[in-house]
Amino acid sequence: MGRVAAALAALILFPLIAPTFYVYVAALILVTALLAMSLNLVLGYGGIYQFHHGVFYGVGAYALALAITKGGWSPWIGFIAGPFAAAGAGLLIGWFCVRLTRLYFGMLQISLGSLLWTIVLRWYPVTGGDNGIHDIATPVALRTVGGAYYFILAIVALSVAALYLIVKSPFGATLQAVRDNPQRCGSVGVDVRRHQLIAVVIAAYFAGVAGVLYVALERSVFSNMLFWVLSLEVFVMCLLGGWYTFAGPIVGAAIMVALRTFAGRYTENWTMVIGVMLILLILFMPEGVLGFVLQRLRPATAADEG
Amino acid sequence: MLRVDGLHKSFDGFRAVNGATLRVDAGSVVAVIGPNGAGKTTLFNLLTGHLTPDRGSILFEEREINALAAHEVCRRGIGRTFQIANIFPKLTVFENVQVSVLAQQRKSLDLFHRASALAVDETSAILKDTGLLGRARRIAGGLSHGDQRILEIAVALGSGPRLLVLDEPTAGMSPEETAATMALIVRLSRDRGLTILFCEHDMDVVFSVAQSIMVMRQGRTIVQGPPAVVRANREVQEAYLGVNDA
């Protein structure tokens, strides 16, 4: 608990000492970290190959953007509705996907997700196609980088706490058992498909939360949010940070966003840096960065998890 | 308690189970024997919902369970173990059994409590019964083979079955482990009133423990009856015992 409180205090004080651009990058890292953690609920804890998680991020963001620009809704109601729209998409896509296992689950999800991406890309009158939607009228209080940062920090902190409680709940414990041995779970009375479907819906909900927070920060949405490449990046974040640890995806998201932002200044080929890092990671840290660090620390601080 | 009649299951034309019948009375210990490939494991998979029969009927406590999925069969009161140790290797011994108890209490979907505080007494009682309490905090994948098989039985007990189906519970065990496991099974049957159905290669074990023995060959039931009757059956002697008792 001490370390969590210290991290939270540091994040609260950060805008007071850091230049605006860095506050913006930190906010982007927080949003991306929540997206990666929501994926890790199904990937790391559920062993479910959720290959197109970005779709739910996009649905959450577009639901908010459309609620404000087309629906004339209050943005605050949109912030609440966006994640539920994402959860609805999770239920729809997940309902088909849980009938398949492993890679087939992932392949079908890429197909169904890409279908949604195509709709967003082609339906110009509503979604703006590849232009996206810009200058979204988010609440005035959120239009400064500082205001958006604190809003994002508060929601991400609450969401991470909720995810932690879910992982530690009977549902989370059973989900990890489903990951390890779905057949055995069936024969002790667990409805494996239903369990996986609920996990996908919860993960989609929190991806939707990340989606609306992205709108709070950028005041824009882009069809690329639903493109499979972004889903792949989020997948890599989980592997990079350590998918068997709770906080690993935060580390992975921080590394990826920082690399894109800072290496991107010097070279357009920043993805090459990622590629080299991934090769090194697979060779030397198959447990991910945080998994690697925790393993080294374990003798000193037994049974302590990030 | 369990009545199986005219059960059939084929895989790509191969008749794995080809007219099996079986009676299991409440409170009894019943063994299924037969040479390798006789269809014992397929029969058990049909009984527990892991496979769906092509034809025939499975009545459990007077209700047909042919078409139920594995988790539904479990909820009716049939627990099982598998031929190869089938546990949750990354979870602790305690968590292995706890998952099963939580499912039995219909708490698997509970999102709002701490799992570590739930079903602790029930789980501890099962671990104590099976002699695993001292290893409760160990990671299950690190246990010896014998202990993993015992843990499987403990996991099956977690779902509170009335009928326990054990697929070769002593496979790969040393003679000492085999004796201890069979003693455990007999004790569970006696103390908990559990009905037990198991299959086993070791004839000494089968004839010393089972009250009723069903003999399978090429997917078909040859005979079922008390050990003395089965031992005296000519077809059984020709097909099976003569070869294995040497």
pLDDT tens column, B48-57: 999 999 999 9
Q: Decide if A187 and B115 are in contact by the 8 Å CB cutoff.
A: no
Least reliable range by pLDDT among A109-113, A124-128, A277-281:
A277-281
pLDDT tens column, A203-243: 999 999 999 999 999 999 999 999 999 999 999 899 888 88
Q: Give the best residue of B71, B74, B120 to mutate against chain A (max A CB count within 10 A).
A: B71
- CB contacts of B75 in chain A (<8 Å) are 189
pLDDT tens column, B142-183: 999 889 999 999 999 999 999 999 999 988 888 888 988 999
- Is any Cβ of chain A less than 8 angstroms from the Cβ of B74? yes
Which of B89, B108, B113 comes nearest A180 by C-beta?
B89
- CATH 3.40.50.300 residue ranges of chain B are 1-77+162-178+190-246
- Is any Cβ of chain A less than 8 angstroms from the Cβ of B109? yes
pLDDT, mean of residues A240-265: 89
Distance from CA of A30 to the nearest CA of B (A): 24
pLDDT tens column, B192-240: 889 999 998 888 889 889 999 999 988 999 899 999 998 888 888 877 6
pLDDT tens column, B72-86: 999 999 999 988 878
Tokens 């034309």, located at residue: B13
Distance from CA of A223 to the nearest CA of B (A): 33
Total count of domains within chain A: 1
Tell whether A163 is covered by a domain: yes
How high is the mean pLDDT of chain A?
A: 91
User: Is residue B185 pLDDT above 50, yes or no?
Assistant: yes
Distance from CA of A2 to the nearest CA of B (A): 20
State residue B241's pLDDT score. 59
State residue B231's pLDDT score. 87
CA atoms of A63 and A84, how far apart (whole Å): 9
pLDDT tens column, B56-75: 999 999 999 998 999 999 99
Tell whether A105 is covered by a domain: yes
Tell whether A275 is covered by a domain: no
pLDDT tens column, B105-153: 988 998 988 888 899 999 999 999 999 999 999 999 999 988 999 999 9
CA atoms of B47 and B217, how far apart (whole Å): 18
Tell whether A263 is covered by a domain: no
User: Is residue A294 pLDDT above 50, yes or no?
Assistant: yes
Angle between helices A20-43 and A228-241 (to 10 degrees): 90
Q: Decide if B156 and A187 are in contact by the 8 Å CB cutoff.
A: yes
Tell whether A82 is covered by a domain: yes
- CB contacts of A172 in chain B (<8 Å) are 115
Beta-bridged to residue B80, according to DSSP, are B165
pLDDT tens column, A81-108: 999 999 999 999 999 999 998 899 999 9
User: Is residue A303 pLDDT above 50, yes or no?
Assistant: no
Q: Decide if B69 and A180 are in contact by the 8 Å CB cutoff.
A: no
Tell whether A279 is covered by a domain: no
Residue of chain B whose alpha carbon sits nearest to that of A192: B71
Tell whether A258 is covered by a domain: no
Distance from CA of B20 to the nearest CA of A (A): 22
- Name residues whose C-beta falls within 8 Å of residue A278's C-beta, 6 or more positions apart in sequence: A236, A239, A240
Closest CA to A114 of A232, A226, A208, A201: A226
Q: Decide if B90 and A180 are in contact by the 8 Å CB cutoff.
A: yes
Q: Are B36 and B231 in contact (CB under 8 A)?
A: no
- What is the dotted CATH code of the domain comprising B1-77+162-178+190-246? 3.40.50.300
What region does B215 belong to: left with phi over 0, alpha with psi -120 to 50, or beta? beta
Count of CB pairs separated by less than 8 Å, A with B: 112
- Is any Cβ of chain B less than 8 angstroms from the Cβ of A298? no
Q: Are B239 and B222 in contact (CB under 8 A)?
A: yes
Q: Decide if A180 and B91 are in contact by the 8 Å CB cutoff.
A: yes
Backbone angles phi, psi at B59, to 5 degrees: -110, 125
User: Is residue B44 pLDDT above 50, yes or no?
Assistant: yes
User: Is residue A302 pLDDT above 60, yes or no?
Assistant: no
pLDDT tens column, A46-70: 999 999 999 999 999 999 999 999 9
Q: Which of 146-175 (A) contact B at CB < 8 A?
A: 165-166, 168-174
- CB contacts of A187 in chain B (<8 Å) are 48-50, 70-71, 73-74, 79-80, 82, 156
Which of B86, B95, B112 comes nearest A184 by C-beta?
B86
Q: Decide if B75 and A188 are in contact by the 8 Å CB cutoff.
A: no
The angle subtended at Cα A236 by Cα A234 and Cα A241, nearest 5°, is 100
User: Is residue B243 pLDDT above 60, yes or no?
Assistant: no
Residue of chain A whose alpha carbon sits nearest to that of B113: A169
Q: Decide if B71 and A177 are in contact by the 8 Å CB cutoff.
A: no
Percent of chain B whose pLDDT exceeds 70 = 97
- Is any Cβ of chain B less than 8 angstroms from the Cβ of A197? no
- DSSP assigned state of B57: E
State residue A268's pLDDT score. 77
Higher pLDDT, residue A286 or A238: A238
State residue B234's pLDDT score. 86
How high is the mean pLDDT of chain B?
A: 90
pLDDT tens column, A120-154: 999 988 888 888 999 998 998 999 999 999 999 99
Q: Decide if B113 and A172 are in contact by the 8 Å CB cutoff.
A: no
Angle between helices A248-258 and A228-241 (to 10 degrees): 120
CA atoms of B9 and B51, how far apart (whole Å): 9
CA atoms of A37 and A243, how far apart (whole Å): 9
User: Is residue A301 pLDDT above 60, yes or no?
Assistant: no
pLDDT tens column, A160-192: 999 999 999 999 999 999 999 998 999 899 999
- CB contacts of B82 in chain A (<8 Å) are 183-184, 187
State residue A58's pLDDT score. 97
ipTM for the predicted complex comes to 0.83
Q: Decide if A186 and B69 are in contact by the 8 Å CB cutoff.
A: yes
Which alpha helices (H) appear in B130-246, and where do they start and end?
145-158, 175-192, 203-209, 227-232, 234-236, 242-244
Tell whether A268 is covered by a domain: no
Structural domain span for residue A222: 27-234
Distance from CA of A9 to the nearest CA of B (A): 26
